[in-house]
Amino acid sequence: MTAARFLPALLALIPLTLMACATGPLTLDDNLVVPGERIGEVQIGMPLATLLAVKGNPITTAPISGTDATTYTFDDGLTVGAQDEVYWIIAEDARFHTSSGVRPGVEQIFARASFGKPRCVESRGETTVYDYGDIYFDVDNAIGKVKRLGVVGQSRPCAG
């Protein structure tokens, strides 16, 4: 095989290589809610040290009763449950949304239509939780709108 035969193929690869370098690294700072995976840049399974490096100091922390985990609340509307790693993430700010547009503040009927039949529904006085396993949302019963979206790595048990 001569170098002349490989030169056209090599020249064709150079622009592809340059384009790959020019795109830069993938960023997750997109405010997207991905069921079972992440909300924005916070990911299920993310080490606690990485969470704090990415988000900075929380505005409040509180121990989670009966566990060694802690709730961390950040000024952008995210609340995170973590011990050594992130277990769950809750968004209460409308900037956080699913790919179909479900976000805090949308009508309950839109959220239910987007996700389909819930795994379980639990009324909690002022709110109702629609649980889909790796994502759930709370609806404010007084106004019929999504109050918060939550993402978990493992399905929560449905209440009796």
pLDDT digit of tens for each residue in the chain (160 aa)? Answer: 555 554 454 445 454 444 444 433 445 668 999 999 999 999 999 999 999 999 999 999 999 999 999 999 999 999 999 999 999 999 999 999 999 999 999 999 999 999 999 999 999 899 999 999 999 999 999 999 999 999 998 877 787 6
Residue 65 has which token pair? 């009763």
Q: Is residue 39 part of a domain?
A: yes
Nearest 10 degrees: Cα torsion 135, 130, 110, 150:
-30
Q: Is residue 5 part of a domain?
A: no
Place of tokens 């939550």: 150
Domains held by the chain: number: 1
**Cβ atoms within 10 A of the Cβ of 33, count?**
22
Question: Are 100 and 114 spatial neighbours (Cβ–Cβ below 8 Å)?
Answer: yes
**Whole domain around residue 65: which residue ranges?**
33-152
Q: Is residue 138 part of a domain?
A: yes
Q: Is residue 11 part of a domain?
A: no
CATH number of the domain at 148, please.
3.40.33.10
Q: Is residue 12 part of a domain?
A: no
Q: Is residue 2 part of a domain?
A: no
b/e per residue, 77-104, with b = 16+ CB within 10 A?
bbbbbbeebbbbbbbbbeebbbeeebbb
Q: Is residue 45 part of a domain?
A: yes
What is this structure's pTM?
Answer: 0.80
Q: Is residue 4 part of a domain?
A: no
